[in-house]
């Protein structure tokens, strides 16, 4: 069963490790997960309005928790900034969540201390391609830092349907358990092997569980268009754990209520400064993808 305590950062900071680690976690843990598969629930699209009601809040939670069930393909680009982590990333991605899921990502890095004012560098990047059978990762290295380029490959067979459907259609209450007085959070197995950064946007269950668990701490403020998508704007207060982690108290996120995809996130400190952020630059949902990208990292 894919359980963990919600005590880590919102995204996997060590992105290159996170990509391979995600595949390895699946390979080592999926047999145990199969022994405890939950009943699969039928996914139904919910009529949504932007009014700040408890029903709409619950619908937003559930759609974010199960976002990968509400679209088949997605392609786009995003930027992620972290003052605490000291980095700025730019990621181009495409994901196919059909019967044989695939993914492609190109991540540009900038680890300068003044990251928010400087674009990610073309000199330091990583390309990940998963064709449904093999996960390949190319790291460009960095001439500036004297790091050589390298390519790694790993056989990762398609995820069994039983594993893929574990916790499908479940609600916030069904995702949260406890052991020895500590909360445990149940997470979906994502079959296309998204990296942590992309998963934060395309399957934002960490955000739903971490920011939106207590519906009294956030409100639906209305609708906003982000990257051409009509989104619901949500503003709220961080819980004590995240307040300490980010040294901030408030957040704002924009979510597509039809797919659960989070297109924008801002964590804001007492001086109204954004200290952690995700910004979608462009996105296309359920359109044709470039199939060649899934099998090449060059």
* Tens of pLDDT, residues 32-68: 333 343 445 556 666 667 789 999 999 999 999 999 9
pLDDT at 123 over 80: no
| The predicted structure's pLDDT at residue 28 | 35
pLDDT tens digits along 11-35: 333 333 333 333 334 433 333 333 3
Rounded to an integer, the average pLDDT of 270-282 is: 96
Q: Long-range contacts: 117-121, Cβ < 8 Å, 24+?
A: 118/88, 119/88, 119/90, 120/79, 120/88, 120/89, 120/90
For residues 136 and 129, give the distance between their C-alpha atoms in angstroms, rounded to a whole number: 5
pLDDT tens digits along 164-217: 999 999 999 999 988 888 889 999 999 999 998 999 999 999 999 999 999 999
Percent of the chain scoring above 70 in pLDDT: 79
| The predicted structure's pLDDT at residue 47 | 64
For residues 137 and 241, give the distance between their C-alpha atoms in angstroms, rounded to a whole number: 34
| The predicted structure's pLDDT at residue 6 | 52
pLDDT at 119 over 60: no
Work out the number of other CB atoms within 10 angstroms of the CB of residue 298.
Answer: 7
Rounded to an integer, the average pLDDT of 219-237 is: 97
Domain of residue 15: give its range: 3-42+51-295
Among the ranges given (24-33, 103-112, 126-135, 178-187), the one the predictor scored with the smallest mean pLDDT: 24-33
Helix (H) or strand (E) holding 201: helix 196-202
Work out the number of other CB atoms within 10 angstroms of the CB of residue 287.
Answer: 11
Provide the edge-to-edge strand list for the sheet that holds 229-237.
Answer: 150-155, 134-139, 121-130, 102-110, 87-96, 73-82, 274-285, 262-268, 250-255, 229-237, 218-226
Total domain count, the chain: 1
Nearest residue to 125 (alpha-carbon basis) of 207, 257, 15: 15
Rounded to an integer, the average pLDDT of 144-152 is: 84
Mean pLDDT, all residues of the chain = 84
| CATH number of the domain bearing residue 32 | 2.50.20.10
For residues 104 and 140, give the distance between their C-alpha atoms in angstroms, rounded to a whole number: 16
Percent of the chain scoring above 90 in pLDDT: 69
Which pLDDT band holds residue 247 (cuts at 50, 70, 90)? very high
Which pLDDT band holds residue 109 (cuts at 50, 70, 90)? confident
For residues 277 and 289, give the distance between their C-alpha atoms in angstroms, rounded to a whole number: 27
For residues 87 and 116, give the distance between their C-alpha atoms in angstroms, rounded to a whole number: 8
pTM of the model: 0.84
């Amino acid at each position: 069963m894919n359980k963990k305590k919600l005590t880590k950062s919102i995204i996997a900071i060590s992105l290159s490790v996170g990509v391979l680690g995600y595949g390895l976690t699946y390979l080592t843990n999926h047999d145990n997960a199969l022994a405890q598969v939950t009943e699969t629930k039928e996914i139904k699209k919910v009529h949504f309005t932007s009014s700040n009601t408890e029903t709409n809040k619950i619908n937003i939670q559930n759609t974010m928790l199960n976002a990968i069930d509400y679209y088949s393909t997605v392609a786009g680009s995003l930027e992620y900034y972290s003052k605490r982590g000291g980095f700025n990333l730019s990621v181009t991605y495409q994901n196919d969540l059909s019967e044989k899921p695939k993914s492609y990502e190109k991540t540009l890095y900038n680890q300068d201390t003044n990251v928010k004012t400087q674009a990610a560098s073309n000199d330091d990047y990583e390309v990940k391609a998963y064709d449904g059978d093999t996960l390949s990762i190319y790291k460009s290295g960095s001439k500036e830092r004297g790091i050589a380029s390298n390519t790694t490959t790993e056989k990762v067979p398609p995820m069994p349907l039983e594993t893929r459907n574990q916790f499908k259609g479940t609600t916030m209450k069904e995702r949260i358990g406890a052991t020895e007085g500590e909360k445990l959070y149940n997470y979906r197995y994502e079959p296309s092997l998204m990296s942590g950064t992309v998963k934060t946007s395309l399957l934002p269950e960490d955000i739903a569980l971490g920011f939106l668990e207590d519906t009294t701490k956030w409100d639906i403020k209305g609708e906003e268009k982000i990257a051409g998508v009509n989104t619901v704007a949500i503003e709220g207060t961080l819980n004590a754990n995240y307040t300490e982690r980010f040294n901030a108290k408030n957040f704002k996120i924009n979510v597509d209520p039809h797919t659960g995809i989070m297109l924008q996130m801002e964590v804001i400190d007492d001086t109204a400064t954004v200290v952690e952020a995700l910004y979608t630059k462009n996105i296309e949902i359920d359109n044709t993808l470039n199939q060649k990208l899934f099998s090449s990292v060059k």
